[in-house]
Structure 1
């Protein structure tokens, strides 16, 4: 049932999964490990709205392996996932609908959108990223920055 209190606790979680795993996603274990690391960092609430973005070649693996309710967005190109998530931030009235936004990425392309959310609508912003993969601009734009315990090299297949 929808209540005002439930609306106050809504959180939008935007996941650039390829940024977390260090490239294209080809193995189910990458998705499961990334999701587990994200949930360990920020927890999981029934009211969370999760949007997962990836490139065109990762969409099958990500779409089928991400557990729980989520919205999947994908686009071709080197910045395809970034552009899909930016579109959500810029066109879906995020600041009016969510008191908290969690961005799981380290890409500087999000710095202006994250900064605007906090300044214009007072939305609490958190960036979740690998310690070695976050731009300085994005770190400075977010209210909070959390580091994931995730090693993308652990998933290299044997030759």
Structure 2
């Protein structure tokens, strides 16, 4: 069973959102297990509304697992190396397109690499929302995003460990 233990989301979010999801960052591992990836993705999907565009990135180490779990629910990007998923997501963003087509930018990561994008999107009138998972997010990103949420997916295995 997978549930979201705690997640704060904007009440009655209106408008389309572009979701940039670093699934490895949310899970807290460069090589997530299928169960970790599935629990995290299932919890994250509750934030996506009809009309949103979701882009998920990971390294080649996690690609098979992530692709199997995410399937056709999102565009999938793969880039390895230091900050590979972050760079793949950032390189994929066309800021003028983002501003003209989306009301929200959702960054599902705690990495500092997204700070300039979030700052620029805010400056151009796009609402910004940061979703974090396991681990500590960069303070600069926490200060920059207008709304912050913490995703805590719960799996049957983690419930058994907690008992």
TM range (shorter): 0.7 to 0.9
1:71 equivalenced with 2:75 (yes/no): yes
TM score, norm. by length of structure 2: 0.78
CA contact (8 A) 1:90 1:113 kept: no
| Length, aligned pairs only | 144
* Alignment match of 1:126 (pick from 121, 125, 129): 129
- Higher relative contact order by CA 8 Å / sep ≥ 6: 1 or 2? 2
Q: After the TM superposition, which segments of 4 or more aligned residues of structure 1 sit over 3 Å from their partners?
A: 150-154
Q: CA RMSD in A?
A: 2.3
- Aligned residue runs from structure 1 range 31-50, under 5 A: 31-40=37-46, 43-50=47-54
Q: 1:150 to 1:133 in 2, by over 3 A?
A: farther
Alignment partner, residue 144 of structure 1: 147
CA contact (8 A) 1:12 1:50 kept: yes
Structure 1 residue 151 displacement after superposition: 7.2
5+ residue gaps, structure 1: 1-7, 155-159
The SS at the match of 1:93 is helix
1:56 equivalenced with 2:60 (yes/no): yes
5+ residue gaps, structure 2: 1-13, 159-163
TM score, norm. by length of structure 1: 0.80
CA distance in 1, matches of 2:35, 2:70: 10
1:135 equivalenced with 2:125 (yes/no): no
